[in-house]
Structure 1
Amino acid sequence: MVRNLFFTRNNFFLVLFSMFFLSCGVKQQQSIVGDNPWKTMQHIIDSVKVPSFRNKTYVITDFGAQAGGVFDNTQAFKKAIQICTENGGGKVLVPSGKYLTGPIHLENNVNLHLEEGAEILFSTNTADYPIVHTSWEGTELMNYSPLIYAYKKNNVAVTGKGILNGQANNEKWLWWCGSKRYGWKEGMPSQGDPANRVRLVAMAEEGVPVSERVFGEGHYLRPNFIEFFECTNMLLKEVKIINAPFWVIHPMKSTNVTVDGVTVQSHGPNNDGCDPEYSKNVIIKNCTFNTGDDCIAIKSGRDADGRRVAIPSENIIVQNCKMIDGHGGVVMGSEISAGVKNVFVENCVMDSPNLDRAIRLKSNSKRGGLIENVYVRNLDIGQVKESVLIIDMFYNVYGSQSGNFIPRVQNVFLENIKVKDGGKYGILAKGYKEAPIKNVVFKNVKIEKVGKAYSIENVEGLQLIDTYVNGTLVVSPK
């Protein structure tokens, strides 16, 4: 009995010691993460698995594809991809030339590779696009297939120095937005009609199952260009993407996504460059965005649908990118109801008279959501129209956007930023009295040709450290 008691006591003290040691270790780790977020970023990068493929090539012309931009190559793409995945994967090669096709559906372990000089022209005939499970402006639905679509796949890529051409213009796809700028005329239908976008949002609010939210023909909701839906280990590399109908690159509920060296040149309505949504561990690097909407917009669902899914977008990394035209360089929102956390932006160039803001956070009290831990450093900003940083918690589009879900923002850090022409404001931030924006820090920031250093409302903990506006050191507000 005494011996057993001795060992029991020893074990008890050993457990206590172990708990103390582990507790110290956890606290130390948390301290390191808090003190050096860029080390955390590197851990995320190291954890992302880039797809690898068997050394076997399947050339689409061997499956009946014909260049020239007239022949329908939909079945040739489908056959080549199917044979490739059935044989364990590899490269589906698109040789130099123009190839017309309907939507391309990717399969496991397939790398769709475009040779330099190759261009895929996507059909603008809506009849070519089957109805699939997808998403439209943050709300899931059954709608036209994205032009390139991977659904619940693993180890998939689109690579090469070729062009992906959505062929959208004011006669095809774009006018559906309902704007005269893009070819819409009075009396024509549009996405804004009550049976279309408005009905979709209402269905989500009413809790209608996604399988019953069937749209498509006659509803004028344009398809996404490239969508990875519930996928893991995805790669998009080097291709040039032009003339998109809608959002361009859309990782949806996906993990371990790399977008590397891609050029997006598309100025249509809602032509966001890259929109990670409900996604984790997304790396966007070495890319150029010249867009009709936000260059990069991190999202996590709209209103009731975002709260239903309840998956925050997290661990999003943007490195060495160039932002030209766009509503914002790197944006969080507005479809952000499930929240966003751990965003890292570094070593980017942003410059255009048609770039409205550099860093933009936007939501409202219908969206709600928590945005936290946004780290930005080493930006070279030429010209922006409105502001270097805008945090707008009263973002208003499509009419009244007031509700009972107050959005929150905390921990936004900008460091080592140089701005030649800052527009109207260095910082434009407006929060709610009951949920003020917390902990915004500018450190070593130099902004020239800006109208006002900051305009803030309901912001707590704004720190301006070594920050100069129009050549004058700016002091933090009290």
Structure 2
Amino acid sequence: MNKLLASFGIFAILGFYSCAQKKQISYTERAWVTADSIRKLIKAPEFKKKDFKITDYGAGTDSTVLVTEAFAKAIKACHENGGGRVIVPKGTFLTGAIHLKSNVNLHLEDDAKIKFSRDTKDFLPLVFTRWEGMELMNYSPLIYAYEQENIAITGNGILDGNANNEYWWPWKAKEEYGWKEGMNDQRADNKLLFEQNKQQIDPRKRIYGEGHYLRPAFIQPYLCNNVLISDVKIINAPMWNLNPVLCENVTIANVKIITHGPNNDGCDPESCKNVLIKDCYFDTGDDCIAIKSGRNEDGRRIAKPAENHIIENCEMKDGHGGVVIGSEISGGAKNIFAQNLKMDSPELDRVLRIKTSSLRGGIIENVYLRNIEVGTYKEAAVRCNMFYEAPGDFMPTIRNVVVENMNVKKGGKYGVLVDAYEESPVENLMLINCTIEGVEVPVKANHTKNMVFKNVLINGKKVDTTTDK
């Protein structure tokens, strides 16, 4: 398996230098054989058949009474007895932060809802976490786990972050999310954390929480192995929804995310290895799926890429991008596969979006999409941007990106949009068997190397060529 992945980049280079149809088909088929090999490495955790119901640990039926302690007691008992399921029965249960432990499956029964407190004190004490790719001590994510293994969140219930234009969202400092002049917001903290990251202050001495305004993620397993999140519906997130960090063997399946607050990304696996995201629905206020690996100095110091991700059979509605890589991508990303996706919304900005900058650096390579059905989008079907944030001294790399069998009924402004450095062109960008209708500008690209279109129709005209710019 390691030999197969190590030779992956060699296959890419050889494939792109050949214009023979037979070799190109062989190249793309070879890539998806690698995806099948990765899939075999990803196994959902299993749990003991023993249940621990939160109502047996002090949770009552009054949805206005905080039951954080009942969750903690049930999880502790489950963990100490070898694991199993912590059951959330039918009803609404108000809680502060929930911290999962090894071998615990937090299971929501039908018509169960976990509703999270709006009191920031209920997300203390501080925990070691990440905020937009930077490490710090901050409010706990709503559901959090640190250095645990075999953990899950399952069932057909609802997770309600309880955020809106009065709680959490105004911290973004935008009027459309309830902020007004004179209110506290995240801008000063964001700037301070950015400087602490730049100076590489010990992350455990970057103290936030009370008196600060950096919103927590909804669900964040951190340095965990064997993670499963399935079937739940997630609404009203303070910030990012699903944000596994430095995790390995992650399965996210049949999850439905509907939330339109600021930075309400659907799923942000960050510096994770072996990730499967399947059969999910995303209708979000930011990127639907955004693959990340740390911001700037923290990302380069930890140097853990996003690696071996498979995304399939998902549906995307509103969002800044359907499948996104970046912008917190300083650790790099490789071997990213997405297939059998449906996207359709005039509020969906892009289908595939790769965003980075020379402040970030990092290598993004071996990205493969196929079988993508798109009703409409706003900006571009394929967007590669190396100028997402202010420039720095770490030249990014984007190479070996293939989009195959993508059909767009009504595109936005661009078909393909590339903005790269002359000294670091986007290399080996290929579109195969794609049809894009209704765009204003078919292709706008400034610096590319070996950009290939094979059997591509844009606005009914064939773009069957190899183009370097």
TM-score (norm 2): 0.94
Aligned residue in 1 for 2:405: 416
Question: Which segments of structure 1 move beyond 3 Å, counting only runs of 4 or more?
Answer: 26-35
Aligned residue in 2 for 1:376: 369
Matching of residue 115 in structure 1 with residue 136 in structure 2:
no
AA partner of residue 260 (structure 1): A
What is the SS of the residue equivalent to 2:298? helix
2: distance between equivalents of 1:77 and 1:144? Answer: 18
AA partner of residue 55 (structure 1): K
Structure 1, 92-101 or 63-72: larger mean CA deviation: 63-72
Aligned residue in 2 for 1:83: 77
- Alpha-carbon shift at residue 29 of structure 1 (Å): 12
Matches within 5 A, 1:19-38: 36-38=30-32
What is the SS of the residue equivalent to 1:360? strand
Aligned residue in 1 for 2:225: 232
1: distance between equivalents of 2:212 and 2:255? Answer: 31
What is the SS of the residue equivalent to 2:421? coil
Pick the structure with greater CA Rg: 1
What are the superposed Cα offsets for residues 163-204 of structure 1, whole Å, 9 maximum, x if unpaired?
0000001110000000011111111121012xx110001001
Percent sequence identity over matched residues?
Answer: 50
Matching of residue 135 in structure 1 with residue 124 in structure 2:
no
What is the SS of the residue equivalent to 1:75? helix
Alignment equivalent of 1:285, drawn from 264, 278, 287 = 278
AA partner of residue 439 (structure 1): N
AA partner of residue 172 (structure 1): Y
AA partner of residue 202 (structure 2): P
Alignment equivalent of 1:55, drawn from 49, 53, 74 = 49
1: distance between equivalents of 2:120 and 2:341? Answer: 38
Aligned residue in 1 for 2:154: 159
What are the superposed Cα offsets for residues 109-149 of structure 1, whole Å, 9 maximum, x if unpaired?
00000001000000110111110000000100000000000
2: distance between equivalents of 1:475 and 1:29? Answer: 24
Matching of residue 174 in structure 1 with residue 169 in structure 2:
yes
What are the superposed Cα offsets for residues 197-254 of structure 1, whole Å, 9 maximum, x if unpaired?
1000100111100110011111100000000100000000000000000000001000
The structure-2 alpha-carbon separation of the partners of 1:373 and 1:60, relative to structure 1 and needing over 3 Å to count, comes to same
Alignment equivalent of 2:201, drawn from 201, 208, 230 = 208
CA contact (8 A) 2:86 2:107 kept: yes
2: distance between equivalents of 1:121 and 1:231? Answer: 24
Aligned residue in 1 for 2:321: 328
TM-score (norm 1): 0.92
CA contact (8 A) 2:8 2:31 kept: no
What are the superposed Cα offsets for residues 262-317 of structure 1, whole Å, 9 maximum, x if unpaired?
00101000000000111000110000000000000000111111111110111011
2: distance between equivalents of 1:292 and 1:67? Answer: 32
1: distance between equivalents of 2:402 and 2:121? Answer: 48
- Alpha-carbon shift at residue 97 of structure 1 (Å): 0.3
CA contact (8 A) 1:347 1:377 kept: yes
Aligned residue in 1 for 2:64: 70
CA contact (8 A) 1:204 1:304 kept: yes
2: distance between equivalents of 1:68 and 1:50? Answer: 34
2: distance between equivalents of 1:353 and 1:192? Answer: 30
Alignment equivalent of 1:103, drawn from 81, 89, 97 = 97
1: distance between equivalents of 2:448 and 2:335? Answer: 20
CA contact (8 A) 1:33 1:39 kept: no
CA contact (8 A) 2:384 2:417 kept: yes
Aligned residue in 2 for 1:190: 185
- Alpha-carbon shift at residue 420 of structure 1 (Å): 0.6
- Alpha-carbon shift at residue 66 of structure 1 (Å): 1.3
Aligned residue in 1 for 2:347: 354
1: distance between equivalents of 2:112 and 2:382? Answer: 39
Question: Would you say how many aligned residue pairs link Structure 1 and Structure 2?
Answer: 450
- Alpha-carbon shift at residue 68 of structure 1 (Å): 3.3
What are the superposed Cα offsets for residues 45-72 of structure 1, whole Å, 9 maximum, x if unpaired?
1111210000101111111111232111
2: distance between equivalents of 1:219 and 1:365? Answer: 29
2: distance between equivalents of 1:80 and 1:203? Answer: 38
AA partner of residue 346 (structure 1): Q
2: distance between equivalents of 1:225 and 1:35? Answer: 37
Aligned residue in 1 for 2:20: none
Aligned residue in 2 for 1:458: 447
Aligned residue in 2 for 1:249: 242
2: distance between equivalents of 1:335 and 1:259? Answer: 21
CA contact (8 A) 2:53 2:86 kept: yes
- Unpaired segments ≥5 residues, structure 2: 12-25
CA contact (8 A) 2:403 2:431 kept: yes
